[in-house]
Amino acid sequence: MGTFLFSEIIFGPVSSRRLGVSLGINLLPTDYKFCTFNCVYCECGWTLKSHKKIQLPSQEEVKQQLEIVLKDYALKGKEINSITFAGNGEPTIHPQFAEIIDDTIQLRNQWMPQAKISVLSNASQLNKEKVTSALTRIDQNILKLDAGTEKTFKLINKAQENLTFDKITAYLKSFNGDVIIQTLFLKGEVDGEKFDNTNSEEIEAWLQLLKEIKPVKVMVYSIERDTPSDNLEIIKPDALKKIANKVEKLGFLTEVY
């Protein structure tokens, strides 16, 4: 299927179901995906093993380009709801991620004070205190949890070997609730093995993890764009709503997209 890459550091704004008018920031290379996960549904395609020298934008480049766009929008009276770190892979991999967050907060306050700063992350870099601390300074710390069990986590997210499910879930719990959880529900087959993160065993385990993470919000959704794997099945809105009802019964704000 036709996955795609973002060709700019600053992209959009796009109309996002979850974030409204969203101006994207891509801290990753513009010609290939760079991530610690290899999710079967990733809209950027498979994570390829590359021997190329990784080219990431500098802190200064990101700051300059962001200021140009924010200033232009502000002077034209156009609104942006979210300045969103996403792009071609995992944004927190960037070695100056924390400093770039601080630049973004300063530029947002100056030019677009009503905009929220959002980070979409797979939580894999939360062994770095600088990254964790930066995520506590933004408005929407949106972290991925696509499974209730290690087996399904491995099949769906295909994370680097050192990133175990226990490690990732411990990182999510470490925010003491100052986190939004995003979960993509799907069924399919990968490497000859079937998975379904909507079956009762998975949902029960996932709900138990939510009780321990205590998120401010849970975002529930399914595949919406092209995926690198063809063997995937979208979960219908009615089934997503049933899952969301279970989360709401635990007392967590839940949004279905």
Residues in 185-204 at the binding interface with ligand SF4, rule: CB under 6 A: none
CA–CA distance, 202 with 147 (Å, rounded to integer):
7
Residue 42 Cβ vs ligand SF4, minimum distance, rounded to whole Å: 3
Per CB under 6 A, the list member of 39, 112, 163, 181 interacting with ligand SF4 is: 39
Distance spanning both ends of the chain, measured CA to CA: 22
Q: Give the rounded distance of the alpha carbon of 176 from its chain centre.
A: 19
Q: Does 89 contact ligand SF4 by CB under 6 A?
A: yes
Residues in 98-127 at the binding interface with ligand SF4, rule: CB under 6 A: 122
Q: Are 220 and 256 in contact (CB under 8 A)?
A: yes
Per CB under 6 A, the list member of 44, 101, 131, 219 interacting with ligand SF4 is: 44
Per CB under 6 A, the list member of 37, 73, 153, 252 interacting with ligand SF4 is: 37
100, 119, 167, 256 from 61: Cα distances, Å: 10, 19, 33, 36
The pair phi, psi for residue 111, each rounded to 5°, is -110, -25
Q: Are 184 and 146 in contact (CB under 8 A)?
A: yes
Q: Does 93 contact ligand SF4 by CB under 6 A?
A: no
Choices 17-25, 36-44, 104-112, 131-139 (CB under 6 A): range interacting with ligand SF4: 36-44
Residues that bind ligand SF4 (CB under 6 A): 35, 37-39, 42, 44, 47, 89-90, 122
